[in-house]
Structure formats: structure tokens, C-alpha cells
Amino acid sequence: MTRSTRATGRRSAPRATRTRQRAQRAYRTRSVSKAIGLTLVSALIPGLGFVLGGRKKLGAFVMTLYFGLLLLAAFIGLTQRDSVVELAVDPSRLLLATGAVLVVGLLWICIVVSSHKLLRPISLTQVGRFTGSAFVGLLCFGIAVPTTFAAQTVMAQRDLVGGVFKSEKDSKSATRPQVDKEDPWAKTPRLNLVLLGADDGVGREGTRTDTVIVASIDTKTGDTALISLSRNWMRMPFPEDSPLHAKFPDGYYDPNGPAEQPEYYLDSMYDNIPKKYPGLLGATDNMGADVLKLSAGAALGLDIDYYMQVNLKGFEQIIDALGGITVNINYKVPIGGDYGAGPGANGHKLPSGYLQPGPDQKLNGHDALWFARGRYGLSDPSRQERQRCTIHALVNSANPAALVTSYKQIAAAGKQLLRTDIPQEILPAFIELGLKVKNANVANVDLDKSKNFPTGQRPNYEAMRELVKAAIAPKSKPVASTPSSKPSTSPTKKPTKKPSATTSKPPAGQPQNLNDACAYDPSQTGK
């Protein structure tokens, strides 16, 4: 290269740069207010500020990337729901998602700042410079807040999944079934879960499962049957192939003891059996839950697949995080109270108050907890019915808005207060099934207290098994009747209003829809 060529090359670079700078100056706004307006538009449509500021190629690239990501997100959300569900329950993917959210937020802020620098006037007064900078700072803050919230929510989900749902290799269970992780329900027409409400509060030694409810779910339709077991049942059976059956061949009780044996009630099994017979079932992270899975399954004639345990105080916190639940209260429900809080007459403790009857009562966590567990002066079956209605209301209250705005609180409460043997590997299938349950029929199976357990001393488990079998058996479709060819000559009558399901219950053993069972029934107010 000659000296003149080299000299020309040295001079051409500055000239090209000056030409580009002059072109960019031509795009600059003449006022701060217009620059602020265009900066706002560029924040809503990333890349547009570059185009308006003269950096057309860069702007076109950023806008293409932005709209491409939007279309990809829409496509995945609408057509790849399984992939989204898998992401939501995979801790490693959730960690990557958190990083991706933070990177996107940071790039968005950089684009806003760069766009404003390209768009603002060349000469600025001190006031104009401060006004523009303050507005850009507010925009960046408006981007940073939701970005941080989204990242924290994703991390809360990761902590919840990792803290509550263990992988099969990191957890031990003596009763968990082996399933195909790709299609867990392929050989499972009905999934059976036992829901345990554990009360280990102040003044109580150990843990008592005052609430034991079996949920039998049709894996094709999501239709669910809820079956409540009474806390004071004795002689709870065990499967014949279980080591517990060898210890208690006639059920869980002391054959040499008195008729009434509180330490052999259903609610004592979770705590007492593991203490007296540690290691009897083999390696397990929660022997008490395994004991109840085996025994509740034997009592009802079901194979219990998994358990879900919640501490009652945690139940209160989750309901508060959701903003409360709405229930119908048909009679006064006591808050507190105990007939046997201690020895002698001083052990009698009156309720501190009552939940008053009324339709569509909005309850906070504290009141919802007592609606579910209050029993002073009331029967165990009435409490079981209220517990089922509480679960029903809780499912209905889990709307997307409440989950988004309060998810961090829900996840924090769940992480501390939930226990389960549901493995992490099949969580996507569980979430899909949960979506079916929310929109399906949820019914109560009445085990007929008057015949099958007038007291807890000798429940008729064989009769209960027959009721459960009939209640969850596949229903045949009714045959359509042939319409009559003769026209009706009777005068037209107004349709009669059907009686409320709360006043005309189905026969014992037949499922009752919880919408009907939990409806408001003023006739019960004086109960």
C-alpha cells in the first residue's frame, strides 16, 4: 500500500464516523418532552428507540427478537402445556429460568437507557438532563420490580418443589408404588391419596392425625370421591401381607384392655406405632404415614398410593395467603373448647366464641381452621362434613390471580408445613390430574354411621368396603327412553323446585356432590 493510500485510509475512517454521527444527530429530538415520550414507547416496544434514533439495523434486530420471543411464548403456552408443567416442577430448569428472567430484565433496562441517549437533544439544560434521567430511572425501576418479583416467584417454586417433593433416589417409602414415569396412570384407573391433618400443637404430646380423608380420583375424568375416617375408630385393620397384620391380626387394639382405648384410636396410630415398632416396615422417611396408608386402605378396600400431610397451623397460613375461603355455615361452629382439657371439673374448657350461621361466609385462616376442626358440642360426622367442605372451598378459591399475587407466601407455608411421598419425577402428571379435579365432580361417600360405626369400638369395616366399592364403581350410561308418540293432554304446570340436597340426602353409600352437601341450608341453623 502506498503512502498516499495509507493516508487516505487514515482520513476515510474519521470521515465515515463523522457522516454516521451527523446522520444520527438528524434523528435526535428537539425537546426533552418528545424524547421522554419516545423513550416510553421504546420501553414498551424494545428496539423501536434504536430505529427512531438512526440505528435501524440494530433496532430491527432487537424488535425481531422481541416479537419472536413473544410468539414463541404464546406458541408454547397454547400448544406445549406439558412442557410448561415439566418446567414448573423441575428444580434445575427453574434455576435456569430464574437466570433467564434476570438476563432479560437487565437487557431490557440497557435498551431503554441506550434508546434515550440516542433520542434526547444534543444540547440539554441542567433541568432537562435531570428530567430525562429521572424519567429513565423510573422506567428502569418499573422494569426491575416485576423482573425481581418474577425471579423470586420462580425461586419460591423451586424451593417448594425441592423442599416438599423429593426424588425417588433421595427419599424412602415403605408403601410407595412403582410407576412408569412417562405415563404414571397407564395402569392406574383410580389414584388413591390419603390426606392427613396433623395436630402437634401446644399441650399435646407427639402428633395426632385428627383428620384422615381418602381421596379416590378417576385418572381419566378427574371425578373424585372423598371418604372421611373417624378419629376414634378402633381395631383398624392391616393388609394380611403386612408385618403389622402379624402384630395385630384382629385390628389395632389391646385385646386385654378396656372397651375404650384412646391410645388405640385411629388418630394415635401415626405417633404410637412407629415409637413401639421402629423399623417394622423397613426403610421409610415417615413410618407413621405409611402405617395410615396401609390401615386406611385395608379399612376401605383400597390400595393407597400416596399421602399428603399438612400441619393444621400451616393450613391456616395457606388460607391466609390465598386471601381466605368462602363457605356456607349452617349452624354455630365453636372456636376452641374441650370437654377433657385436664383432670377434674377444671379440665372443662368452654369455646372462646362461635362462627355464626350464614351463606357465603368469607373466613380467614384462623376461622377456616376452626370451621374445619371445631367439635365442642357437635358430632364427629358433622366435623368430617365441614372438613370436606373446607377442602372443596380451598380448591375453588385457588384462582390464578390469588396464586400469582400470593404465591411466595403460599410456597413458603407449603415448604415448611407439607409432607408427602409423591416423587418429584411424576409431579407433571399430578398437576395435569389436579387441573382435571378442579373442573370435575367432587363427591362425598357416606359410610353410614348409624349402621357401620355407631361407636368407634367395633366399626363394621367389611360393610364400609362394600359401600366404597359400590360408590366408586364405573357407572353405566343410562338408556335413553323412547318418547311417547301421543301428545300430552294435561295442562301445563310450572316446574317444581327441587329440594336442596342438604335436606334430602342420597341413600347411604351413594356419593353426594359436594356442591349440594356444602350448600346453605337454613333448616339446620338451630342445630
**Integer Cα distance of 215 and 338 in angstroms:** 29
Range(s) for CATH 3.40.630.190 in the chain?
A: 180-471
Q: Are 108 and 140 in contact (CB under 8 A)?
A: no
Report pLDDT for 219.
Answer: 94
**Integer Cα distance of 25 and 257 in angstroms:** 97
Residue 477, SS3 per DSSP: coil
Q: What is the CA radius of gyration of the chain?
A: 32
Length of the chain: 527
The set of residues, in sequence order, having a beta carbon less than 8 Å from that of 466 and lying 6+ positions away, is 301, 509
Report pLDDT for 339.
Answer: 66
Beta-ladder partners of 361: 327
Residue 355, SS3 per DSSP: strand
Q: Are 136 and 117 in contact (CB under 8 A)?
A: no
Report pLDDT for 5.
Answer: 46
Beta-ladder partners of 215: 193, 226
Q: Is the pTM of this model over 0.75?
A: no
Report pLDDT for 490.
Answer: 39
Domain boundaries 180-471, CATH class: alpha beta
| Neighbour-count burial of 70, counting CB atoms closer than 10 A to its CB (0-12 exposed, 13-18 middle, 19+ buried) | exposed
Report pLDDT for 408.
Answer: 66
Rounded alpha-carbon distances, angstroms, from residue 271 to 228, 244, 264, 334: 20, 15, 11, 27
Residue 326, SS3 per DSSP: strand
| Planar angle of CA 87, 92, 98, nearest 5 degrees | 75
Q: Is 448 left (phi over 0), alpha (psi -120 to 50) or beta?
A: left
Report long-range pairs for 130-138 (Cβ below 8 Å, ≥24 apart).
131/32, 131/36, 132/32, 132/35, 132/36, 132/39, 135/36, 135/39, 135/40, 136/39, 136/112
Q: What is the mean pLDDT of each run of 10 residues along the chain (527 residues)?
A: 48 55 56 86 90 88 92 84 76 87 93 89 81 91 90 83 85 91 89 86 66 93 92 95 94 91 93 94 94 96 93 79 88 82 56 91 91 85 85 74 61 74 89 85 89 92 95 64 41 37 52 79 70
What is the DSSP code string of 462-476?
A: HHHHHHHHHHHSPPP
The set of residues, in sequence order, having a beta carbon less than 8 Å from that of 196 and lying 6+ positions away, is 209, 211, 212, 270, 289, 292, 307, 308, 309, 310
